[in-house]
Amino acid sequence: MNRPSQLTKLIWDFYRENQKELRQLKILGKCKVFRSWRVLHIRCFSEDVAEGVLSNRDLLVEPVAQLRLANKIKISLKKRAIATFPVNSDKLFA
> How confident is residue 88, by pLDDT bands cut at 50, 70 and 90?
confident
| 60 vs 91, more confident | 60
> Mean pLDDT over residues 50-54, rounded?
96
Given this model, what pLDDT does residue 91 score? 52
Number of continuous H segments (helices) and E segments (strands) in the chain: 5, 4
| 10 vs 89, more confident | 10
What mean pLDDT is reported for the chain?
91
For residue 9, the one-letter residue type is K
Greatest C-alpha distance within the chain: 40
